[in-house]
Amino acid sequence: MKKKILTISCLAAISLTVVSCKKDFLEQPSPNAIEVKASFRSPADVLSAVNGIYLSLRSSNNIGENSGLWTDERSDDTGRNDNQSNAGEPFQFGDFSLLPSNTYLKSHWVSLYTTISRANIVLENIDKVTFADADLKQQYIAESKFLRAVMYFHLVRTWGDVPLVTKSFTTVDEVNAATFREKQATVYAQIVADLKDALNSTLPNLQTGAGIGRASKAAINATLGQVYLTMATTQDQANRTANLNNAKTYLLAAYNVRTFGALSSIPYTDVFDVAKKASCPELIWQIVNKQGDPTYSSSIAYNNQAKGETINSLKPNSGVGGNVTPDLIKDYETGDPRMAFSVKYANDPIVKDYFITKFRDASALASNLGYGGNDWILIRYADVILMLAEVNSYLGDNTTAISYLDMVRTRAGMPGYTASLTNATYAAKYPNLRLAILHERRVELAFEHHRWFDLLRTFTTDELVAYFRAKSQADFGIPKLANFTTKDRYFPIPFDEYKLNPEKMYQNPGYL
């Protein structure tokens, strides 16, 4: 192989077990090797490469339907009472006993950087291709930058300082030079730059038809709004107000291109109806799955189903399905129909517990093989609306914040915020608007992998420790709440990454 093949074979992410790739071996020519630049000859080639970036999102280690291990299971919504399966590694996430050597942790890191690597390759090589349609070229650039920004947004919130790579590598020396953690402020600056560049394109406001699943201006604006909101609440407080105002601007831009009037015009159940996934106007961005297809179908309906149940899938499951914490069950208000739709109690002789029913496909097309058609929803309008409530509350405009909060509560058939405060239980559990919005996001967006990031935005690290420690251990099963400390604000840097350069790839505090 020639040096250039290093980018694909050894450097899918930046980690990279570089020590195992000998330079003399890399210098050997191979008649089967194809130079990357030779793969970019036509717009169709570029489209194939961009599609490859999207394809990487489907990995179970990326941000799709199977990413609950490093999101929801890290929060107070889901977990597991099995500390033995797979060497007990999955249990470490919810038990707050995560080790840098955890192989699931490393797989997530590598998958995110693989997506980044694919985006970098497109952005480096697209200028080699002649486009008759300049707008088409800009769309491909916009999609690549959007997807790269999304990956870095997940990385920086999960690990803090991370390596910032915006080019592919052709030599080991280049890899070594880039193997260091960049400060969060610099990573956020790159995320913002990529998203703003992506907006400077002719991408549609919303995707329809064959475009569903691809980037749109609504998706980019919503992401940029969330980025600014996260910066305002977790980063340099000197720029807090400016970041909040920017968050409001971009979230409103996403909201104002909606194709419906009131959120209440869209039934909650329509959002998760497999038959309506291409037509529901609440959906902004999703990972598209193909019902009945062994390769491109969804497995979430079957995976979440408990033993003895058939509500999710025709494929029987012998396990506990999507395990839900009693802590979440107790947070649903009496009469909230979202609870009846989202969870069910399994009363099997072996499994007696709540499991997730929000994602269902018990159709004949999905069959008893469990090849479901659920798309994985990454962004939807209820999320945007509740972020607008959050932003306005931080800006001191409680009237506007409550109006957004009530849009979601009204759609759910729940009383508005002001009326709810007359309920002693509600008022005691959510004594301020900030906690009421956090609660609403929890029950509205349950199991959609937002909860952990919502907690990080709402609480400082010390507040988050106190929040978890104040919860009932009985509502979490065998994972130990006492394990939660300030270290758990971030994941540990995977050991294989840390050992590449212990000084520049320094470990997060609290991890050995």
261 occurs within a structural domain:
yes
CB 301 within 8 A of CB 361: yes
Q: pLDDT category, 1, cuts 50, 70, 90?
A: very low
Rg of the chain in Å (alpha carbons)? 23
Partners of 78 in the β-ladder: 324
Tens-place pLDDT, residues 427-471: 999 999 999 999 999 999 999 999 999 999 999 999 999 999 999
CATH number at residue 473: 1.25.40.390
Match 């999905």 to its residue by tokens.
366
88 occurs within a structural domain:
yes
CA distance 49 to 289: 19
Of 353, 374, 395, the position where a domain reaches its end is 374
- Measured on CA atoms in the order 293, 295, 298, 301, is the torsion positive or negative? positive
Reading the block at residue 492, the tokens are 């540990």
Tens-place pLDDT, residues 135-151: 999 999 999 999 999 99
CA distance 321 to 232: 37
* Residue-range definition of the domain harbouring residue 192: 40-169+181-202+461-512
- For range 254-261, the mean pLDDT: 98
Same domain, 260 and 343: no
pLDDT for 86: 87
Task: Indicate if the pLDDT at residue 488 is higher than 80.
Answer: yes
Task: Indicate if the pLDDT at residue 314 is higher than 70.
Answer: yes
Cα separation values, 485 from 242, 415, 476, Å: 31, 36, 16
Q: pLDDT category, 504, cuts 50, 70, 90?
A: very high
279 occurs within a structural domain:
no
Task: Indicate if the pLDDT at residue 11 is higher than 50.
Answer: no
382 occurs within a structural domain:
yes
Of 339, 374, 409, the position where a domain reaches its end is 374
Q: Which residues of 148-179 are buried (b: 16+ CB within 10 A; e: fewer)?
A: bbbbbbbbbbbbbbbbbbbebbbebebbeebb
Reading the block at residue 372, the tokens are 């479901």
CA distance 156 to 98: 18
Same domain, 71 and 196: yes
Same domain, 262 and 120: no
Tens-place pLDDT, residues 329-387: 999 999 999 999 999 999 999 999 999 999 999 999 999 999 999 999 999 999 999 99
Partners of 162 in the β-ladder: 182
Same domain, 210 and 190: no
What dihedral angle (degrees, nearest 10) is formed by the CA atoms of 101, 104, 105, 110?
110
Same domain, 192 and 294: no
Match 């250039």 to its residue by tokens.
4
pLDDT for 37: 67
Task: Indicate if the pLDDT at residue 2 is higher than 60.
Answer: no
CATH number at residue 394: 1.25.40.900
Same domain, 95 and 163: yes
Q: pLDDT category, 311, cuts 50, 70, 90?
A: very high
CA distance 368 to 101: 37
CA distance 430 to 181: 38
Q: Which helix (H) or strand (E) holds 188?
A: helix 184-199
Same domain, 187 and 261: no
Tens-place pLDDT, residues 39-63: 899 999 999 999 999 999 999 999 9
CA distance 35 to 510: 43
Number of domains in the chain: 3
- For range 124-138, the mean pLDDT: 97
Same domain, 67 and 208: no
Q: pLDDT category, 35, cuts 50, 70, 90?
A: low
282 occurs within a structural domain:
no
- Name the DSSP letter for residue 96: T
Q: Is 294 exposed, middle or buried (0-12, 13-18, 19+ CB in 10 A)?
A: exposed
Reading the block at residue 205, the tokens are 């406001």
Tens-place pLDDT, residues 71-107: 999 999 999 988 888 889 999 999 999 999 999 999 9
25 occurs within a structural domain:
no
Of 436, 458, 480, the position where a domain reaches its end is 458
CA distance 382 to 400: 15
* β pairing state of 343-347 and 352-356: antiparallel
Q: CB atoms < 10 A from the CB of 90, how many?
A: 18
Same domain, 359 and 440: no
Same domain, 191 and 223: no
Same domain, 314 and 294: yes
273 occurs within a structural domain:
no
Q: CB atoms < 10 A from the CB of 391, how many?
A: 30
34 occurs within a structural domain:
no
Same domain, 192 and 308: no
Q: pLDDT category, 38, cuts 50, 70, 90?
A: confident
Q: CB atoms < 10 A from the CB of 196, how many?
A: 14
Three-state SS sequence of 431-500: CCHHHHHHHHHHHHCCCCCCHHHHHHHHCCHHHHHHHHHCCCHHHCCCCCHHHCCHHHHCCCCCHHHHCC
